[in-house]
Amino acid sequence: MSERTSTHGAEQEELDLTDPRLSHFEIMREGARRDGIEIVHYEPPFPVLGTKAERRLTRTVSLFFLLTGLASLAFLVIYIAWPWRYESGSGDDKLFTPLLGLTLGVALLGIGFGILAWGKKLLPKEVSIQGRHDGGSSETDRKIAGSTIVYMAEELGFKRRPLLGFAALVGLAPVGVVAAAPLVGGLIKQPHKNNQMFTTGWAPQDGKLIRLTREDGTPLRPEDISAGGQLTVFPGIEDGVSNKHADSPTLLIHLRDDDARTARTANEGAGHGDFMWGNYIAFSKICTHAGCPASLYEQQTNRLLCPCHQSQFLITNNARPVFGPASRRLPQLPIEVDADGFFVAKSDFTETVGPDFWERP
Ligand code: FES
């Protein structure tokens, strides 16, 4: 196809659209003319088809699309199969997010460069001048519009360049799957498998109750915390103080006698019985609003304050929220002292810890 010259300024003769010898381009141009559009410049990128340069460009664009497909597939494989949970001694989980970012980035760059190269180098250059008009379209106009679309599809070159069509299909289809990955990925990961979303490090292991320990792993006796004092405790298990059990940090509080009486009455009225041991009480530190550590304990008012958005929880009333955006109380850890005199958790938390997402009917 050679460069088509401008007809600007000249009155074109009306074409008979029923003539079967008319090409799609001629019908399209006639339609454009009837629509008041004048094609003043039309230049195909390769007047002679099948040249080395055209094939090279086709291969380049195809390569970009195939690269997109490969990167998208790699994204999906990593999303599904890469170990993403923290494992002690293994650094693989640290690579999970960077690898997703890398593969998605390569996929999007592949699409971008592919479309840019295709549009700039393989599509015809056309300049048209169009007048504006109102009203609906006649049967003829609709036929013209149909031919125009077919013509444009032909100009994209899929028919003449099957490799490009194949590469676009193989390369771009996985990108659509990648877009859907976050929606279906959760189902593939099975978040409910092994109850991992509903247990913490406090769940008894092999029937053995878990000790409350300091950050350095040493267990705690009641006399280690004076009245009015509090301490952040962790499950006394392997990796108890780690990201693996990031949902387990708990605040152990030694209440004064009066406060302990008030707390016990509220505790017993909560429907789960007494989770306290003596004057000691323990609540999850994970704020039920957005998951920050609620750790500012004001012993005069018995309020636990979350520094992120200033939610306050009243410890002597089952840690109910009394101020701020949190709307669910902090889960309470049932505690007792074992035969050796150390604090243990009688069971895991009886409610899910963390943000209000869990407060469902
Ligand atoms: S995270 Fe605690 S108040 Fe928002």
**Alpha-carbon Rg of the chain, whole angstroms?**
35
Helix axes 52-81, 162-189, angle to 10 degrees: 10
Query: Residue 241: which pLDDT band, with cuts at 50, 70 and 90?
Result: confident
For strand 210-213 and strand 320-323, is the pairing parallel, antiparallel, or unpaired? unpaired
| Distance (Å) from CA 347 to ligand 1 centroid | 26
Most confident of 45-54, 84-93, 216-225, 237-246: 216-225
- Find out whether the beta carbon of 285 lies less than 6 Å from any atom of ligand 1: no
- What number of other Cβ atoms are within 10 A of residue 14's Cβ? 9
Cα 361 from Cα 352, distance rounded (Å): 14
Mean pLDDT of 327-344: 94
Burial of 40 (0-12, 13-18, 19+ CB in 10 A): middle
Q: How far apart are CA 111 and CA 171, in angstroms?
A: 8
Atom of ligand 1 nearest to the CA of 310: 3
Supply the mean pLDDT for the chain: 86
Q: How many angstroms separate the alpha carbon of residue 288 from the centre of ligand 1?
A: 7
308 in ligand 1 pocket by Cβ < 6 Å?
Answer: yes
Beta bridge partners of 281: 253
Q: Is 286 in the pocket of ligand 1 (CB under 6 A)?
A: no
Closest CA to 333 of 172, 168, 239, 202: 202
DSSP 251: E
More confident residue, 96 or 136: 96
What per-residue confidence (pLDDT) applies to 229? 92
Q: Residue 71: its pLDDT value, please?
A: 95
Is there a contact between 254 and 279 (Cβ–Cβ < 8 Å)?
Answer: yes
Answer yes or no: is the C-beta of 326 below 6 A from any ligand 1 atom. yes
pLDDT above 60 for 2: no
SS3 324: coil
Q: What 3-state DSSP class applies to 321?
A: strand
DSSP, residue by residue, 196-221: TTT--TTS-BTTBPEEEE-TTS-B--
**pLDDT for position 299:** 87
- The model's pLDDT over 279-317, given as tens digits with 9 standing for 90+, comes to 999 999 999 999 999 989 998 899 999 999 999 999 999
Q: How far is CA 25 from CA 46, 108, 301, in A?
A: 16, 33, 83
Q: Once rounded to an integer, what is the mean pLDDT over residues 84-95?
A: 76
- Torsion over CA: 27, 30, 36, 40 (sign): positive
CATH number given to 210-359: 2.102.10.10
CA distance 335 to 195: 22
CA-based nearest residue to 222, from 346, 231, 160? 231
Confidence tier at 7 by pLDDT (50, 70, 90): very low
Residue of higher predicted confidence among 350 and 7: 350
Q: What is the Cβ-side half-sphere exposure of residue 274, based on CA atoms within 13 angstroms?
A: 12
Give the per-residue pLDDT at 164: 84
- Verify whether ligand 1 is closer than 6 Å to residue 290 (CB atom): yes
Average pLDDT estimate for 316-332: 93
Q: pLDDT by residue (tens digit) across 143-161? A: 888 998 888 888 887 777 8
Q: Are strands 296-298 and 335-337 parallel, antiparallel or unpaired?
A: unpaired
Residue 360 has pLDDT above 50, yes or no: no
Residue 270, SS3?
Answer: coil
- Lowest-confidence region among 8-22, 56-70, 103-117, 264-278: 8-22
How far apart (Å, rounded) are the C-alpha atoms in residues 13 and 34?
A: 11
Ligand 1 centre distance from Cα of residue 332 (Å): 17
**CA-proximal residue: ligand 1, atom 4 (nearest):** 309
Give yes or no for a contact between 26 and 15, defined as CB atoms under 8 angstroms apart.
Answer: yes
Coil, helix or strand for 178? helix
Report the pLDDT value the prediction gives residue 190, as an integer from 0 to 100. 56
**pTM for this structure?**
0.55
**Which atom of ligand 1 is found nearest the CA of 294?**
2
* pLDDT bracket for residue 133 (50, 70, 90): low
Give residue limits of the domains in the chain.
52-188, 210-359
Q: Ligand 1, from 283, 311, 322, 353: best to mutate by most atoms within 8 Å of Cβ?
A: 311
> What digits encode the pLDDT tens for the residues 40-50?
888 888 888 78
> How many CB atoms lie under 10 A from the CB of residue 332?
23
Residues 165-219 pLDDT 10s: 888 888 888 888 888 777 776 666 555 555 666 789 999 998 899 999 999 999 9
246 lines ligand 1 (CB under 6 A): no
287 CA closest ligand 1 atom index? 2
Q: Is the CB of 276 under 6 A from ligand 1?
A: no
